[in-house]
Amino acid sequence: MEWAANTFALYGVGAAALATSMVTLGRRLELSQAKHRSLAGHTRMARRLAAALPHYEYDQDRFFSADGAPAEIVALRRAGFARLTDLYRTRFAETIRRSAEAAETISDLQFTGAYRVPFQFSRMVRANLPTGALLQASDGVTVTDLDGNRFYDLAGSYGVNVFGYDFYKGAIERGAARVHALGPVLGAYHPLIIENTKLLKEISGQDEVSFHMSGTEAVMQAVRLARYHTRRTHLVRFCGAYHGWWGDVQPGIGNPLPAHETYTLAEMSEETLHVLRTRRDIACVLVNPEQGLHPNAPAPTDSALVDSARWSRFDKDAYTRWLKRLREVCSERGIVLIFDEVFVGFRLAPGGAQEYFGVRADLVTYGKTLGGGLPIGVVCGRKGLMKRFRDDRPADICFARGTFNSHPYVMAAMNEFLRALRTPQMQALYQNLDDTWNARARRLNRRLADEGLPVEIANMSALWVVCYTRPSRYNWMLQYYLRAEGLALSWVGTARLIFSLNYTDADFEAVADRFVAAAKAMERDAWWWHDAKLTNKAIKRTIMKEVIARRLFARRQPRAH
Ligand SMILES: Cc1ncc(COP(=O)(O)O)c(C=O)c1O
């Protein structure tokens, strides 16, 4: 009898264990279904594959014929490349010389220099088309290199430059004068901070503010606060979204460690909403509204431009609907919704992405332009969420400090920015902003199409991505033709053009003329040669074969130490 009871009990325990593991399995399955199908959606696999990817590079011949182009096309490319090399060596001589000197000891320059184009082409490009990293001046919408060449600036200082460089120069200068008497005293604040917090509360619609030194730190603090208050572990970030370089928000390639408490889910996905509705471990959802321009795709860069598959289109209505649904689910489930506006804040609307999309977040991070030209990170949030200690548990705190937080000079430049934002002159910049930039993009696209050039612009207001409409292995060359035409790009090349809002129609037309001229020169030099066999799929297949061959070959080589 006792034996029967024990057996029965054991069966009971077994059944309960089975049920629990079925539920766990089911939850894991739901998580998998909410991942984006791409590699960027599978961060662990991406890291493993990245670690296994061998280096190899093209020799002189293959460099010009990686797409199987015939000899006469290769000859045109060689001639074009030589012309461009000559032009770079003469026109940018001093800038290149001094940049090379700097790069010997600045590791960041070595990194960005190596990742401007797909790695198979990189060494030859670096040797022949070195990109200067030094500038001596900015003025209006232009920057000037050490050789005195003026470029229209499409790099936008990583998004800091919203109002034009002259504005920030003035903000820093006037701000410095206003806090000069206190100087760089830290710990105590300059009273200007009070006005800044008032203005930030108004803009963000939130109750409290904390100041940090970079966007990355602001995001770290927002996530930490969300975890502290919800007592849950996981953050949800969306596939492809950049939130700075802190480990938990960069679980894939680039971070040597896995991020165990991060879920990377697909954006604009029912399965994601289901996961948010059903899991109990999610503290917060991080949204970078810039992703509206290319949901679920990583921040584009020309070093990944191996074919013409880069695609982008901003659908404001669809993205707004998605954010609203996300808002609803987060409210239902007590999940903290964080808008990371470090990049797009103040670029789309004076009230940032919250105003632009009509959705209120629980915490908002800002950075970049808000510092009036100086380094900054800010978190704004609801009172309860911003609190860093518990009245009933004195040792249960959410710690956050930073030596340079609330630096008087930064507060002063920020104050100049925030005050300027309210002036009719700056408000006027936002009038019909999207219409203006959409019309400019349309105009340029029409010109490119009329010329039969395989290039198309996608834009979210004044943020642009260059897309390519004909399969090609050489789209990354366009950045070098654009520089030759006097257009300054950041190290990600044509992946992101950032216009400041002070571009006039005349400035823009000058950029458009140069853009078309660059694309025509690239077409003339035959880089966009194409035949029916050259599809994006075929290009990827070729690269895959090269990688496999390289792996097999490399195994037989003795290991280098
Ligand atoms: C959306 C977003 N969040 C955070 C960051 C990180 O900011 P910072 O470079 O100031 O650390 C960036 C930087 O580009 C960003 O675009």
Q: What is the DSSP string of 182-221?
A: T-S--SS--THHHHHHHHHHHHHT-SEEEEESSHHHHHHH
> Best substitution site from 211, 250, 294, 368 to test ligand 1's pocket, by max atoms within 8 Å of Cβ?
368
pLDDT of the residue at 10: 65
> Best substitution site from 223, 237, 242, 492 to test ligand 1's pocket, by max atoms within 8 Å of Cβ?
242
Six-digit token string for 191: 């009273």
Q: Find the 524 Cα to ligand 1 centroid distance in Å.
A: 38
DSSP per position, 251-317: -STT-SS--TTEEEE-SS-HHHHHHHHH-S-EEEEEE-GGGGGSTTSPPP-GGG-SSS-------HH
Tens digits of per-residue pLDDT, 271-313?
A: 999 999 999 999 999 999 999 999 999 989 999 999 999 999 9
pLDDT of the residue at 3: 55
Distance CA 347, CA 454 (A): 29
Quick check: CB of 216 below 6 Å from ligand 1? yes
pLDDT of the residue at 6: 67
pLDDT of the residue at 556: 57
Quick check: CB of 163 below 6 Å from ligand 1? no
Helix axes 107-114, 93-103, angle to 10 degrees: 120
Nearest atom of ligand 1 to the alpha carbon of 377: 10
Quick check: CB of 339 below 6 Å from ligand 1? no
Phi, psi angle pair for 257, to nearest 5° = -110, 150
Quick check: CB of 342 below 6 Å from ligand 1? yes
Residue nearest to atom 12 of ligand 1 (CA): 244
pLDDT of the residue at 21: 79
Residue 223 near residue 362, CB atoms below 8 Å: no
pLDDT of the residue at 23: 79
Quick check: CB of 343 below 6 Å from ligand 1? yes
Quick check: CB of 367 below 6 Å from ligand 1? yes
**Can you list the residues of the chain whose pLDDT is less than 70?**
1-10, 12-13, 555-561
Quick check: CB of 303 below 6 Å from ligand 1? no
Quick check: CB of 340 below 6 Å from ligand 1? yes
pLDDT of the residue at 263: 97
pLDDT of the residue at 19: 73
pLDDT of the residue at 174: 98
Nearest atom of ligand 1 to the alpha carbon of 219: 4
Whole-model pTM: value is 0.93
> Best substitution site from 223, 243, 246, 410 to test ligand 1's pocket, by max atoms within 8 Å of Cβ?
243
